């Protein structure tokens, strides 16, 4: 918009330079105005991130300006005609740049105007694009002007030199151009300046699944004193007491405390069963208006042996800490960009495991931005664990569950069957299972409740990964998954769910290496 006003100001001042050809003083002022606005227009075109242009593009614009100026000069002796043309040409150019008149090639053909934009995109940043190496965003000026797009740098990773994430920009398509969505995508892809174009899809917190039958109470005996472990049926199926015994008998100590980031709706950092293990990245993440993130945090890292609530795989506070990165708004909505922002913030603040109980069905099979985020997390020493989803479909159709490089978690019930709602992970490279039905955990305001979903299964896996990491800090995602796979037990639907995690067997497998 800045360049539009500067271009019009340059044209108007040039026109008055011609108009006042017999009045030296006024002509001199008009000339100075022309030089000033013209210089500002060129500078803005070259350097503003949403309005850059090439030298050739600027030259063509200035040529058009002089042609229009000479044309209007022929009517400088006819005041009414001169001012009418000045207003008509200035207004016409402005409207063509903001309202879509066929002026200066700003309107695409009618054939481009009939394809509707998908309804699941962020209305303020519909696309994510990656600028090719050796090119600058300024080179997209002609496309920006053609469709009145707004480009904004998408991500700001701390170690930008080691990732392509800092080459990403969001693209805001104005309402008047939404019908041109397909043409815009095609034009960007065919520009030779872009490595990647993908939808910035909106996502919601998965609806909490209901369960037809209540899980029976756990009958296990535990050496830790957390009073509600009888409500945590999954601990028997995963032999958690055997884990506590093995750690105590072998006097295992962490080499480095692992940090789990719950990338979710926030976490109630003051919860009685979390606060001892919680570390804050930023206070804006430390509340939870929905409750989903707090429930996940308790599963992954509840304080064990504190005479309150439940426990986690870590027998004391030396192995694992937990933090929060809030990516959902208070109404439970987010976008791919916000999730990737959350991943970057987490690993740039020392998170070593990302627990991501989020995602949704995706129509975009590319997912290159997610892959770049996972790669960046891995380079920073973090392992990414993601929910398979609750649509009872193949998780290959869901993001980020299907992204290469993540461990994807399906949910099982207390009969060791695939939960009726759980997506399948058999077609993914790194699929695994954990309890996801009638899971008892923390919710805000020092309360506890049962919830169901692959969202609940995911932090069980994240908690175990963090425990393994604390014993062998440099372990990779692939090495962790190999251990989970070898040490896991069969479910009644292993080909669909992957194996059920077995913490004590996983620790033994790790220490053999």
Is residue 167 annotated as part of the catalytic site, yes or no? no
Indicate the pairing of strand 194-199 with strand 320-326. unpaired
Would you mind telling me the total number of residues written for the chain in this entry? 513
User: CA nearest 356: which of 278, 471, 459, 270?
Assistant: 459
User: Strand 320-326 relative to strand 258-264: parallel, antiparallel, unpaired?
Assistant: parallel
Strand, coil or helix: what is 147?
helix
Q: Report how many helices (DSSP H) and strands (DSSP E) the chain contains, helices first.
A: 15, 16
- Angle (deg, nearest 10), helices 2-19 and 24-47: 160
Active-site residue (options: 61, 271, 285, 292): 292
Q: For residue 411, what are the β-bridge partners?
A: 434
Distance, CA of 435 to CA of 468 (rounded, Å): 19
- Torsions phi, psi for 447 (to 5 deg): -115, 175
Computed on alpha carbons and rounded to an integer, the radius of gyration of the chain in Å comes to 29
- Whether 421 and 206 have beta carbons less than 8 Å apart is answered as no
377 contacts: CB under 8 Å, gap ≥ 6: 343, 346, 347, 354, 383, 384
From the candidates 13, 321, 335, 455, give the one annotated as an active-site residue: 455
State the number of CA atoms in the 13 A half-sphere of 172 facing the CB.
10
Is the dihedral angle over the CA atoms 435, 440, 445, 446 positive or is it negative?
negative
Helix (H, G, I), strand (E, B) or coil at 14: helix
Question: Do the beta carbons of residue 463 and residue 300 sit within 8 Å?
Answer: yes
Please pick, among 166, 199, 206, 264, the residue that the annotation labels catalytic. Answer: 264
Q: For 306, left (φ over 0), alpha (ψ -120 to 50), or beta?
A: alpha
**Distance between CA atoms of residues 244 and 224, nearest Å:** 9
Q: d(Cα 107, Cα 78) in Å, to the nearest integer?
A: 33
In the chain the first and final C-alpha atoms are separated, in Å, by 61
295 is catalytic: no
Q: Name residue, tokens 């506070």.
A: 317
Is 206 one of the catalytic residues? no
- Residue 318's Cβ-side half-sphere holds a number of Cα atoms within 13 Å equal to 8
Q: Residue 342 is encoded by which pair of tokens?
A: 């959350």
Cβ atoms < 10 Å from Cβ of 51: 23
Token pair recorded at residue 8: 């019009």
**Helices 454-471 + 503-512 axis angle, to 10:** 30
* DSSP helix/strand/coil, 292: helix
Asked whether the beta carbons of 324 and 264 are under 8 A apart, the reply is: yes
Active-site residue list: 264, 292, 455
């Amino acid at each position: 918009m800045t360049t539009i006003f500067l271009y019009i100001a340059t044209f108007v001042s040039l026109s008055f330079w011609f108009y006042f050809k017999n009045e030296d003083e006024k002509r001199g002022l008009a000339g100075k105005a022309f030089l000033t606005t013209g210089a500002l227009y060129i500078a803005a075109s070259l350097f503003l991130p949403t309005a850059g242009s090439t030298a050739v593009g600027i030259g063509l614009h200035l040529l058009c300006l002089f042609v229009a100026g000479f044309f209007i000069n022929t009517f400088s002796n006819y005041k009414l005609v001169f001012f009418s043309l000045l207003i008509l040409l200035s207004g016409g150019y402005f409207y063509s740049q903001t309202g879509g008149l066929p002026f200066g090639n700003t309107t695409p053909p009618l054939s481009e105007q009939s394809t509707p934009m998908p309804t699941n995109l962020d209305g303020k940043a519909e696309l994510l694009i990656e600028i090719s190496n050796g090119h600058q965003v300024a080179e997209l000026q002609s496309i920006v002007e053609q469709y009145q797009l707004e480009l904004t740098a998408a991500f700001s990773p701390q170690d930008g030199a080691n990732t392509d994430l800092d080459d990403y920009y969001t693209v805001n398509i104005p309402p008047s151009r939404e019908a041109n969505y397909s043409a815009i995508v095609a034009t960007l892809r065919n520009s030779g300046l872009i490595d990647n174009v993908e939808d910035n899809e909106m996502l919601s917190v998965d609806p909490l699944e209901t369960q037809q039958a209540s899980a029976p109470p756990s009958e296990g005996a535990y050496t830790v004193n957390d009073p509600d472990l009888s409500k945590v049926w999954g601990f028997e199926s995963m032999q958690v007491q055997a884990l506590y015994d093995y750690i105590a008998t072998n006097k295992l100590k962490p080499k480095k405390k692992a940090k789990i980031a719950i990338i979710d709706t926030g976490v109630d950092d003051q919860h009685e069963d979390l606060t001892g293990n919680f570390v804050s990245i930023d206070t804006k993440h430390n509340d939870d208006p929905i409750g989903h993130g707090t429930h996940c945090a308790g599963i992954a890292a509840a304080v064990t042996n504190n005479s309150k609530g439940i426990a986690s795989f870590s027998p004391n506070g030396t192995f694992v800490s937990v933090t929060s990165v809030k990516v959902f708004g208070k109404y439970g909505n987010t976008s791919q960009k916000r999730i990737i922002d959350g991943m970057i913030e987490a690993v740039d603040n020392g998170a070593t495991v990302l627990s991501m109980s989020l995602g949704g069905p995706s129509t975009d099979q590319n997912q290159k931005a997610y892959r770049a985020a996972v790669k960046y997390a891995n380079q920073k020493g973090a392992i990414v664990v993601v929910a398979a989803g609750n649509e009872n479909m193949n998780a290959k159709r869901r993001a980020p569950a299907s992204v290469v490089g993540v461990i994807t978690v399906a949910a099982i019930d207390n009969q060791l069957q695939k939960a009726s709602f759980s997506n399948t992970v058999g077609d993914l490279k790194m699929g695994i299972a954990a309890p996801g039905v009638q899971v008892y955990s923390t919710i805000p305001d020092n309360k506890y409740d049962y919830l169901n979903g692959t969202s609940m299964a995911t932090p069980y896996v994240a908690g175990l990964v963090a425990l393994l990491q604390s014993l062998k800090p440099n372990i990779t995602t692939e090495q962790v998954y190999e251990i989970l796979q070898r040490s896991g037990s069969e479910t009644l639907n292993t080909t669909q769910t992957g194996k059920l995690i077995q913490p004590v067997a996983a620790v033994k497998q790790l220490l053999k290496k």
